[in-house]
């Protein structure tokens, strides 16, 4: 952390680049997310894991094996493009934390995990998804709500944006409805020493670090991302800002 805040520098600029196009690889991303979920929640002991790979098979295959068809996996539904849009694993003895890789399910709109043995907080990565329904009640979830989850407060269907669907039967610092209404139970944000931001795309936000931010991610068209670090911001050669995307760089002490 900088000792003399009055000498901190401030640089702000916006980058615009020509647009690049990339193919939709949802199947591989979906596999990575489902694999992480299975391994994190003791999938071998789920009540129903029909057609899922075993933990040993998932461990041996960090990328999707040829011929894999997740459409036949219990609890998984696909949209018209073959991407996972629904995950229904309620009453299924999932035990353990939800992994951050869940945000690889970029087409997921329906998530139902009620009545399991899930532990830990709601992963902030859920706030990156375009969820319409969310069921997390009656688990062993606990702790505070990351502010990234506030996006869910407005995008969830009203029938699934309430205590009954999310906080009832868990041990959060506050009920879900109080979090959405007034920020109750929100996590106290701290400024880490160093952070790495490699999301593709990087969610709109202010990213702060006491010393260094490194990134090889992408700023999508229409996105507004700010990096603020006390010492250095290092962008990999693969870092991309698409046309219409804004990146702001600030060399300034982190508060």
Domains of the chain plus CATH, in order, are 26-182 (3.80.10.10), 190-251 (no CATH)
Three-class SS state of 209: strand
What DSSP assignment string belongs to 81-124?
A: TS-EEEEE-TTS--EEEPPGGGGG-TT--EEE--SSEEEEPPPG
CA angle 222, 130, 108 (to 5 degrees): 130
Chunked in runs of 10, what are the mean pLDDT values of the chain (255 residues)?
30 32 70 97 98 98 96 97 97 97 96 98 94 98 94 96 98 97 87 87 87 92 90 91 92 77
What pLDDT is attached to residue 210?
Answer: 85
The per-residue pLDDT for 22 is 34
SS3 content of the chain, % helix, strand, coil (to 5): 25, 25, 55
Q: What is the pTM of this model?
A: 0.69
pLDDT value of position 8: 31
CB 201 within 8 A of CB 217: yes
């Amino acid at each position: 952390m900088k000792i003399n805040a009055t000498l901190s520098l401030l640089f702000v600029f916006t980058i615009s680049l020509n647009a690049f196009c990339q193919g939709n690889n949802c199947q591989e991303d979906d596999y990575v997310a489902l694999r992480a979920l299975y391994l994190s929640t003791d999938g071998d002991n789920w009540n129903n894991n029909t057609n899922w790979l075993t933990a040993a098979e998932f461990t041996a295959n960090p990328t999707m094996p040829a011929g894999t068809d997740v459409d036949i996996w219990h609890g998984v539904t696909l949209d018209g493009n073959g991407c996972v849009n629904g995950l229904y694993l309620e009453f299924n003895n999932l035990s353990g934390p939800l992994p951050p890789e869940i945000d690889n399910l970029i087409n997921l709109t329906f998530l139902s995990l009620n009545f399991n043995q899930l532990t830990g907080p709601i992963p902030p990565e859920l706030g990156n998804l375009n969820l319409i329904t969310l069921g997390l009640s009656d688990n062993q979830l606990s702790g505070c709500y990351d502010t990234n989850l506030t996006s869910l407060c407005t995008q969830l269907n009203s029938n699934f944006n309430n205590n009954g669907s999310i906080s009832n039967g868990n041990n959060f610092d506050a009920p879900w409805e109080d979090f959405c209404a007034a920020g109750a139970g929100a996590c106290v944000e701290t400024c880490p020493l160093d952070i790495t931001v490699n999301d593709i795309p990087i969610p709109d936000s202010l990213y702060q670090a006491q010393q260094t931010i490194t990134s090889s991610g992408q700023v999508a068209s229409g996105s507004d991302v700010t990096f603020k670090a006390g010492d250095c911001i290092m962008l990999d050669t693969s870092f991309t800002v698409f046309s219409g995307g804004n990146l702001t760089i600030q060399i300034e002490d982190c508060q």
